[in-house]
């Protein structure tokens, strides 16, 4: 069901892309904008792991580290190749997975989470991160980002076209400048909402898969509650562009901003984990 919802949301992004493309006018502009977005996000897909790990000063650890041995045990249970394992020198409690596919994956945990969580709960967290690897969520988020970036580019083109009297479509009389401007303003908001919804669906799915890998939902459920409380005391100074990667959103979202949150409410995640399976 989660996969179906993600497919529907990706379809919604694609439809939005085509809608704003019509507003801008001309198939050539549509293709150029999409081409730029694809090139930009292919680069991100191939190199984002190195960029993110360097951004957070991640330090690799080997078999002598307990986190490595725990991850190795869970990866074997999940039927995954052994990922690279990193520790972030950060007092906030959090963790993430990155890498373009299971053969080029990495998992990372902060010093804060290693001190905060008992072994059973940390195991649930690392199982969740390995679930992202097994479910290929980096690829899914890259596809969503490609379409979202193309929508942003087309929206900017539409704004210029509306202001300077453009909007001619191939073989057509063109779009109303007011309609074009409204589309240019609303489409990026709608794209942001859909991308956030995709991210939330993938978090729910990773929670379920992680519970299966760990053998029980209890450790992850307890960890999520503990991490939620800890994030309010020591929020993580994270780049908003990487917020979707972490198991717990690095900063809180209040009011309308919560609509664009990349993570479901913690209690909803816990309820889904502990509810009927």
Cα separation, 202 vs 186, in Å, equals 25
Alpha-carbon dihedral angle through residues 211, 214, 218, 222, given to the nearest 10 degrees:
-90
Q: Give 63's contacts (C-beta < 8 A, 6+ positions apart).
A: 69, 72
Which residues participate in catalysis according to the annotation? 129
Helix locations, 79-170, DSSP H = 111-116, 119-134, 137-163
CA distance 263 to 268: 10
d(CA 247, CA 156): 33
Q: How far is CA 29 from CA 40, 184, 189, in A?
A: 17, 14, 21
Query: Contact, 95 vs 223, CB < 8 A?
Result: no
């Amino acid at each position: 069901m989660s996969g179906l919802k993600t497919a529907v949301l990706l379809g919604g992004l694609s439809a939005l892309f085509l809608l704003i493309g019509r507003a801008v006018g001309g198939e050539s502009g549509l293709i150029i904008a999409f081409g730029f977005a694809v090139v930009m996000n292919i680069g991100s897909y191939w190199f984002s792991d190195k960029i993110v790990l360097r951004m957070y000063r991640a330090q690799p650890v080997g078999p002598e580290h307990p986190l490595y041995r725990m991850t190795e045990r869970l990866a074997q249970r999940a039927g995954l190749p052994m990922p690279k394992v990193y520790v972030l020198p950060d007092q906030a409690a959090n963790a993430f997975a990155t890498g373009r596919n299971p053969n080029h994956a990495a998992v990372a945990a902060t010093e804060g989470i290693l001190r905060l969580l008992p072994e059973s709960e940390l195991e649930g967290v690392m199982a969740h991160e390995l679930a992202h690897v097994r479910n290929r969520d980096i690829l899914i988020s890259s596809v969503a980002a490609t379409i979202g970036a193309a929508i942003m580019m087309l929206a900017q083109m539409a704004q210029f076209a509306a202001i300077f009297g453009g909007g001619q479509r191939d073989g057509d009389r063109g779009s109303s400048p007011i309609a074009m401007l409204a589309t240019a303003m609303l489409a990026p908001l709608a794209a942001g909402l859909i991308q956030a919804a995709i991210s939330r669906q993938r978090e729910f799915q990773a929670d379920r898969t992680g519970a299966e890998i760990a053998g029980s939902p209890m450790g992850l459920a307890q960890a999520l509650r503990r991490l939620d409380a800890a994030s309010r005391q020591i929020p993580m100074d994270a780049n908003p562009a990487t917020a979707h990667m972490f198991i717990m959103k690095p900063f809180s979202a209040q009011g309308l901003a919560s609509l664009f949150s990349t993570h479901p409410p913690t209690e909803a995640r816990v309820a889904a984990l502990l509810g009927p399976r």
